[in-house]
Every structure is written in structure tokens, then in C-alpha cells.
Structure 1
């Protein structure tokens, strides 16, 4: 089976390797970010607010440090806002934490807003306009939602007629649009809320199931991941009138040819970023390359 090798993209500077990586992402402008804490997350019980460090590495390799005060999320998601601030959100919400799930920090690391987006956050990605896209796994609420950085609910998939949207397996946010591949039917979904004509488009996907990341370039699409032995699958397809037709399938590997194993993935336009344990390095696959 053909292997596609990830291209090294960004590295956490070695001076920060002694801290624990609580979350990491690549933002819509291509900068990589690591949320670091003094201690690893602990299961069970309440966690008092703690200070954390965000280490940012832009596409040119420049490093920026931002101290965040009083972070509350035990298992956090992280992304950067266009104004230089950050969003940190807890993936799960306990009853007494409602309203404090999402913290918005300014560029100096001070909390400016907090609100809730609902339990079971699978993906949290910020677009170029500063809108926060949230994809949920199979809890309540389900689906895909968009929020402003001040907590205004600006779009919901509830009335979008996306068949079988019970778990947002894959979410890709680029520019001000989103692409998704949700469980159970795994269609390819394009979402452009600001488009007056057909803000949501759906293509049937009858052959490629279980993917956790998707990349799109023109009429081409790539799905990464799958069930069981297909967890490292990289499947290519072509977008036609009403469906996605598979064209090729292979494996996505690390630069040394090994499987990534336990990893994080982020989809941004034509790119899929992959970060394997110990979560200090990002690699990239670019469908447009």
C-alpha cells in the first residue's frame, strides 16, 4: 500500500519540554500553539484554576510566549483569535461549571469573557473572522455550532438537514467556512453560513467511513483515519455532483515511516496537521502539494 509521509511543520522549543502539553493546535493562519502546565491533568475531583503558558511558533519559526491566568479546563481545547487572544474550552461540562466552560483571553493573557457551548466538545476551531466553530460528539447538544468570541450563538446545524449528524468525527475550518464528515452516514459537508444561496452543501460518501480529519482542495478531498486497522488510512476522493467518489487509498506515516499512533489532528483547508506523542512536533500533509 502506498505511503504518504508527513512533512515536519513546527516544533515546541526544547526549553519548554519539561512542562506538560495540555493542548495544542495549528490556527487558521498557520501558527502552531502549545498550552503548557506544570502538572498533567488529573482524573476525578475539582481542579483549582491554574496559570498556564502558551508557546506559539509562527510559520517563519518565530516564537511567542503568552501567560494565561486562572485557566479552569481540566481537558482543554485551545485556539488563537485573530486579535492575538486565545480561546480555552473544557471538552466536558459538569453541572456546577455551566457558563464557565469557554474562557476567552486577551493578548496579555487576561480573561475577558466566559460562556458555555454545551457538553462533549470534539473539535474547537477559530476562523479568520474570529468565529468559534464547535463540533460535538454523541451527547447533548449534538452537531456543529458557531459562536462569537463573546458567546453569541451565530450558526447551528440543527435546521441544516444534514443526515445522520450524531457525532462530528472530522471538522475543517479555513477562511470563514467549515467542512465536516460526521457520523453516522459520513457525508462530506460544506458550511458557509454567510452565503445566501445554499449555505450548506452535502455530498454522499458511501465508501470512506470513520475518518477523523478531512482536507479539501478544489474538487479533490482526502480523508484521514478510520476504524481498527484503518486508523492510519489516507483515502483520496473526487467531489462530483452529489457524492464523493474514491480514487486512491494508502497510509499516512511519520517522516521516519512509522505510524503516528496516538495523535492529535487538525484540518485547515487543503492541509491536515498531525501531532503524535509526546505532542511536541506537528507534521503536515497538504492535498494541494
Structure 2
């Protein structure tokens, strides 16, 4: 199988490497963020509310911005940035956050402005360009995929009865949010679902798909890329083309780090035509951009 290397995208400045990376992501506008703490969470123990710092590296010139967050509660948080410059941090599990404090919203100065709960078992948390918070759940929460306002109002749900239902959704494996549209690949049958909540009559378009187990998806025009899979396919990059009802495979490759190495533990984020990958020790992001690659 041919190899495709990620392109270097953003790095955590070396001056911050002495702190623990709690979470990292790339937001809707292409800025990379690292949530840092003085120490790692203790195994099996609760952290009291702690102060943390977000290091943001902007695209292009790589300008660095620092934001101090006060009294973060989640031990292993999901993180993303709001369009106004504030941040959202959420605990993936709710057992310790049953009082409505699972999701914390911070203003651009790092002060908590609101908190609410979105349900247990968060696999993905992504903020779109309009400030909606998209949450994809893994299989311990049957809610599937939902969209929330920054104030905690539920604005769309995949288990609604208005044509939004995604068949066979037990686990949101891959979620891509671009603009105000989301794309999802879900267990058990792994269809590719195009989600446009503000489109009347047909908010969800479901396409049959033969790629199983992908952890990230990217879409550009009528082209699609899936990254990941089961077992030996965890580094697979599968390419395809969209039809009205299905995804038709066109090619496949092995996606590597920029130096040609195979990543071990990794984080992945899908945004529009891009798949971002971050390998341990989680200080650098690489990117595959379907929009700049040659058609298969």
C-alpha cells in the first residue's frame, strides 16, 4: 500500500513542554490549542478544581496566545474554542458531574460564565463557526449526536422524530464539523451522515459506506477521506466519492507522521477537508488536507 505523510501543522512551543497536556484540539478556524496543567490527574482520584492554561498557536505565522482558565473541574477534559475567543471544557464522563457542572464555558479572559450537562460518554466535542457545541457520544449513551448552544440549550438531536434519525447509531466513531454542517460515521453500519440541522424537511442525508471503523472523516466537494479502522487498518486512509446514496471507494493509503513513522497513541480531529492527527507526546499536530491532495 502506498504511503501518504501528514504535513506538519502546529507545535506546542518548547517553553511549555514541562507541563502536562490534558487536552488538545484544532478549532473551526484552524487554530491549535493545548490545555496544560502542572501535573497529570492521579489514577482513580478526583482533582479539585484547578487552574490551567490554554496555549493557542494560530495558523499562518504561528502567533502564540495564552489564556488562563480558572477552576477547571474535568480530570480528562474535552476542549474547544468559541468564536468569541472563549473556551468550552467538558468532562467525558458524568459520574462526578451530576450537578450540572459537566460542561464549563469560559469567557476570553478565562472566567467561567456558565455550566451545564450534555450527558455521559462524550467521544467528540466540536464547536462550529456559529458557536454551536456538537457532542458525539460513545456507546454508553444512546443519545448519539446532539447540538447545544453555549448556554446549554439543546438545539438538535439525532434521535429526534423530524427526519433527523440516523439508522443503527450506537456509537459516534467519527465526527467532522465545518461551517454549521456536521459529517458523522457511526457504528454499527458506518454510514456517512451529512447533518444540516437548519435545512428544512431533510436535516440528515445518509449514504451507505463500506469503510468500517474510521475514527476521522474529511469531505471536500464530492470527495471523502476516512482515517483509521480496526486492527491493522488503524493507519488506513481510505478515499472515496459521494453519490446521492452512497460512498464509492476509489483508493487507499497508509497515513504516516511527517517523518514517515507510524503513530502510536494519537488524537484526531476532522474539520471540513482536513484531518488533523496528533501523536504522543501530543505536542505537535500534522494535517492531511483532502482539498489539496490529488484526486484518486
Q: TM-score range by the shorter chain?
A: over 0.9
Quote how far apart the aligned CAs of 1:255 are. Answer: 1.0
Question: After superposition, where does 1:230-249 map in structure 2 within 5 Å?
Answer: 230-249=233-252
Q: Secondary structure of the equivalent of 1:165?
A: coil
Aligned residues: 288
Q: Secondary structure of the equivalent of 1:84?
A: coil
Quote how far apart the aligned CAs of 1:140 are. Answer: 2.4
Per-residue Cα deviation, 1:196-216 (whole angstroms, up to 9, x for no partner): 1421100011x2100000000
Quote how far apart the aligned CAs of 1:46 are. Answer: 2.4
Quote how far apart the aligned CAs of 1:31 are. Answer: 0.2
Per-residue Cα deviation, 1:72-111 (whole angstroms, up to 9, x for no partner): 0001000000000000000001155340000000000000
Q: Secondary structure of the equivalent of 1:108?
A: coil
Q: Secondary structure of the equivalent of 1:97?
A: coil
TM-score, length-scaled by structure 1:
0.98
Quote how far apart the aligned CAs of 1:256 are. Answer: 1.1
Structure 1 residues 141 and 102, CA gap change in structure 2 (3 angstroms) = farther
Contact 1:119 1:141 in 2 (8 A): no
Please name the residue that 2:215 is paired with. Answer: 212
Per-residue Cα deviation, 1:146-171 (whole angstroms, up to 9, x for no partner): 00000000000002221110000000
Q: In 2, Cα distance between the equivalents of 1:96 and 1:211?
A: 30
Q: Secondary structure of the equivalent of 2:232?
A: helix
Contact 1:85 1:105 in 2 (8 A): yes
What's the RMSD between the two structures over aligned residues?
A: 0.9
Aligned match for 2:171, one of 160, 167, 177: 167
Question: After superposition, where does 1:73-222 map in structure 2 within 5 Å?
Answer: 73-94=74-95, 97-159=98-160, 160-205=164-209, 207-222=210-225
Q: In 2, Cα distance between the equivalents of 1:29 and 1:86?
A: 14
Quote how far apart the aligned CAs of 1:58 are. Answer: 0.6
Q: In 2, Cα distance between the equivalents of 1:201 and 1:166?
A: 18
Gaps of 5+ in 2: none
Contact 1:216 1:287 in 2 (8 A): yes
Structure 1 residues 40 and 184, CA gap change in structure 2 (3 angstroms) = same
Gaps of 5+ in 1: none
User: Do structure 1's residue 223 and structure 2's residue 230 form an aligned pair?
Assistant: no
TM-score, length-scaled by structure 2:
0.96
Q: Secondary structure of the equivalent of 2:170?
A: strand
